[in-house]
Amino acid sequence: MKPRRIILAGGSGFLGQVLARHFLARGYEVAVLTRRPTSVVLRVREVAWDGETLGPWAQELENAQAVINLAGRSVNCRYHERNRKVILESRINPTRVLGAAINLCATPPLVWLNSSTATIYRHTFGMAWDEAGEIGGTPAAKDEFSVQVAQAWEQTFAAAPTSRTRKVNLRSAMVLGPARNSVFPVLRRLVRLGLGGRMASGRQFVSWIHHQDFSRAIEWLIEHGNQEGTFNLAAPNAVTNEEMMRTLREIHRMPIGLPASLWMLEAGAFLLRTETELIIKSRRVIPGRLMAAGFDFRFSHLREALEDLCGNAITDISR
């Protein structure tokens, strides 16, 4: 019997590598669509595409078990006009062209999972949002641009004419994993330098998911052929920024953790060419549909997730 095949569009980055490892370990064949194919990385076949136009890459989708679209320029940058355009187009164009390619398949993939983000939900200090939560931007959270991008991304996905393929929209929270090109090592370094205090008020919620649960949830969504539509990919227990930083300090037995006020974060973000929205927005999201369906999270609480990650060496999976 031929192995089941998964196509990771934009799969050369952090989450693509996380998913490639997960599915390879389960005997799947994995192909990555990338603008810069190298050779075989991690037994993954890299296939050239431009994320905009149809080409020979579209053949890869024939008869695939699943297509998972992860393409998108990193949001860890300044949101000036040029970057805004690239951030938006690098999500819309790959989604649109994947829809066109799937529609042309003789035997289309069984399921198409497309990335979105938990940032789409309204900044809140109140109750947690499930998939029916309020969507929208808030000037104080500086998230209006990100919410607009997420909405356009989801609309493009919803409009794609792929009636023979099940669709799943992934509203993912921050994925915690032991890779250099992700957030967790950055937080850990701050803690080790004694800079791991609360950020801004520290009251803002952080939604997160351990990389193993992220991969397991995606596998579960692929295998459950009756599940479609939007799913929040987040652990059931969001924490405040203050609690997250305190937990990391405790795990590292670091008694000092200098807090960073809002103006310090603004200055730091300017110098590091990033945006404070990534820190100050209060993201309180629960995986309502996964919980209702009985999905079993391996890491429901942040402490267990961080202890697990701190016990693992940071791996360099960048090329």
Ligand X SMILES: NC(=O)c1ccc[n+]([C@@H]2O[C@H](COP(=O)([O-])OP(=O)(O)OC[C@H]3O[C@@H](n4cnc5c(N)ncnc54)[C@H](OP(=O)(O)O)[C@@H]3O)[C@@H](O)[C@H]2O)c1
Q: What is the DSSP string of 262-309?
A: HHHHHHHHHHTT--THHHHS---B--HHHHHTT---S--SHHHHHHHH
For 303, list phi and psi in degrees, rounded to 5: -55, -45
**Where in 146-165 is the site for ligand X (CB under 6 A)?**
none
> Containing H/E element for 6?
strand 5-9
212 lies in the binding site for ligand X (CB under 6 A): no
Which positions ≥6 away from 46 have C-beta within 8 Å?
A: 12, 31, 32, 34, 37, 38, 39, 40
**Where in 46-85 is the site for ligand X (CB under 6 A)?**
51, 70-75
Structure tokens that stand for 188 in this block: 């850990």
Structure tokens that stand for 104 in this block: 């042309």
287 lies in the binding site for ligand X (CB under 6 A): no
Q: Rounded to the nearest whole angstrom, what is the least distance from the CB of residue 57 to ligand X in the complex? A: 11
Q: Rounded to the nearest whole angstrom, what is the least distance from the CB of residue 255 to ligand X in the complex? A: 29
72 φ/ψ sector (left φ>0, alpha ψ -120 to 50, else beta): left
Nearer CB in complex with ligand X: 47/199: 47
Q: Rounded to the nearest whole angstrom, what is the least distance from the CB of residue 183 to ligand X in the complex? A: 7
**Where in 169-198 is the site for ligand X (CB under 6 A)?**
172, 174-175, 181
Query: Which parts of 195-240 fold into alpha helices (H)?
Result: 211-223
Q: Rounded to the nearest whole angstrom, what is the least distance from the CB of residue 41 to ligand X in the complex? A: 11
Instruction: Using CB under 6 A, pick the residue from 115, 146, 207, 212 that binds ligand X.
Output: 115
Question: CA gyration radius for the chain?
Answer: 19
Q: Rounded to the nearest whole angstrom, what is the least distance from the CB of residue 150 to ligand X in the complex? A: 9
Question: Within the chain, how many helices (H) and strands (E) appear?
Answer: 10, 12
Residue nearest to ligand X (CB): 13
Angle between helices 241-251 and 302-310 (to 10 degrees): 40
Q: Nearest-CA neighbor of 51 among 156, 127, 122?
A: 156
36 lies in the binding site for ligand X (CB under 6 A): yes
Instruction: Using CB under 6 A, pick the residue from 95, 117, 146, 241 that binds ligand X.
Output: 117
Which x/- pattern, by CB under 6 A, does the window 83-102 give for ligand X? -------x---x--------
Candidate ranges 5-13, 128-136, 156-164, 267-275; the one touching ligand X (CB under 6 A): 5-13
Q: Rounded to the nearest whole angstrom, what is the least distance from the CB of residue 261 to ligand X in the complex? A: 25
**Where in 10-29 is the site for ligand X (CB under 6 A)?**
10, 12-16
Burial of 151 (0-12, 13-18, 19+ CB in 10 A): middle
Coil, strand or helix: which one is 29? Answer: strand
Nearer CB in complex with ligand X: 177/257: 177
Candidate ranges 7-15, 215-223, 259-267, 277-285; the one touching ligand X (CB under 6 A): 7-15
Binding site for ligand X (CB under 6 A): 10, 12-16, 34-36, 51, 70-75, 90, 94, 115, 117, 172, 174-175, 181
